[in-house]
Structure 1
């Protein structure tokens, strides 16, 4: 995901305007990560891990060396098979982009967000 370290639980409040995007962010700048000697590559997928050589190959073909590697794979929401998400006005909210898409829909239709 391109937007790391934010409070997903508050996405509905972000969508309604109760909280700004900045209020949902948990890491607001790179200083905290630098202090921990962490390099984060948001929005980059890992295609191959070579634990013997301590390298990873990303989806852009770049090779990265690591001292320690954290695999944070996240989670997936359960969506019932018959949810028919292809129909207008049906959404799931998992990421910021999902909340932005639903907010745009509500703004365009005049429907309330609450």
Structure 2
């Protein structure tokens, strides 16, 4: 998982480009997961079945979600009884990685080898 650079770490042009791309991509992914979780509230609530069944449920909901998109089904409205929790989990995970000072070699190479050429 590519994480954003820590605050105050963004200094070069390529780091700025990486940070902007990372934020834009993350927002698209968060919206997509949010719609998926609104369509299938079990994904927000938590799946309380035996662990061996969880991957099948996730795959089945993903397939059904993609079929609904292909059939131009309406996006389900937000349900206050089942808030989308993904945002908090992603933010917490990202912050934990940054706080640990994890050096992300792949991220550094991506910035140096791809974003430097833009």
TM-score, with structure 2 as normaliser: 0.25
TM-score, with structure 1 as normaliser: 0.26
Which has the higher relative contact order, 1 or 2, with Cα contacts under 8 A spaced 6 or more apart?
2
